[in-house]
Amino acid sequence: DIQLTQSPSFLSASVGDRVTITCRASQDIRNALAWFQQKPGKAPKLQISAASTLHSGVPSRFSGSGSGTDFTLTISSLQPEDFATYYCQQIHMYPLTFGGGTKVEIQ
């Protein structure tokens, strides 16, 4: 199975901060990576697909980059509604796998 390692696991930040979350794959997955946002008690929401394509309705302050084994999710200016847990997922090979998550909390 392809392992995804997210870092950090926990991030404390302030409104307006630029935030970067990384996701490292255990093998080359090309650009087959998605990012999800999950708020407490709610279903995850797709933010980015194919490593860098913003999903419909997602604010432009979110961006994704990377290919191969190293990927990043960046929030250019953190907003109050962005405090949540973020997960990466590889869709290159079955079984599809998720990273362990990064919880973004208010500083």
Provide CB contacts within 8 A for 94, sequence distance 6+: none
Between residues 14 and 56, which has the closer beta carbon with respect to another protein?
56
CA distance 13 to 30: 30
Tell me whether residue 15 or residue 24 sits nearer to another protein (CB atom). Answer: 24
Q: Give me the amino acid identity at 28.
A: D
**Nearer CB in complex with another protein: 15/50:** 50
Number of Cα atoms under 13 Å in the Cβ half of residue 88:
34
Nearer to another protein, 15 or 105 (CB): 105
Nearest approach in angstroms of CB 79 to another protein is 22
Is 33:91 a contact under the CB 8 Å cutoff? yes
Shortest reach from residue 82's CB to another protein, in Å: 19
Residues that bind another protein (CB under 8 A): 1, 34, 36, 38, 43-46, 49-50, 53, 55, 87, 89, 91, 94-101
Residue 89 near residue 36 (C-beta atoms within 8 A)? yes
